[in-house]
Amino acid sequence: MESKKAIYNLIPQQYYPKTELITERTSLAAIQNIIEKSGIQFPLIAKPDIGLRGSGVKKINSIAELNQYAQKANFDFLLQDLIPYENEVGIFYVRYPNENKGKITGIVSKEFLIVTGDGISTIETLIRANPRFELQLASLQKEYGTQLSEVLKTGEKRNLVPYGNHARGAKFIDGSHWISPKLEATMDVICSQIPDFFFGRLDVMYATMGELEAGKNFAIVELNGAASEPTHIYDPAHSVFFAWKELARHITYMYEISVLNNKKGVPFLTHKEGMKEYRLHLEQSNKIINF
Rounded Cα–Cα distance for residues 143 and 57 (Å): 12
- Is the model's pLDDT at 133 over the cut of 90? no
- Place 163 in a pLDDT band, splitting at 50, 70 and 90: low
Q: Residue 69's CB: how many other CB atoms inside 10 A?
A: 19
Query: In this predicted structure, what is the pLDDT of residue 285?
Result: 82
- pLDDT tens, residue by residue, 209-265: 999 999 999 999 999 998 889 999 999 999 999 999 999 999 999 999 999 999 999
Asked if residue 164 has pLDDT above 60, the reply is: no
Q: What is the mean pLDDT of residues 22-28?
A: 91
- CB 162, CB 112: distance < 8 Å: yes
The pLDDT tens digits for 77-118 are 999 999 989 899 999 999 999 999 999 999 999 887 888 889
Q: Which domains does the chain have, with CATH numbers?
A: 18-81 (3.30.1490.20), 87-111+171-290 (3.30.470), 115-161 (no CATH)
pTM of the model: 0.84
Among the listed residues 50, 83, 89, the one whose alpha carbon sits nearest the alpha carbon of residue 235:
89
For residue 104, give the DSSP letter.
E
Q: Is the pLDDT of residue 196 over 70?
A: yes
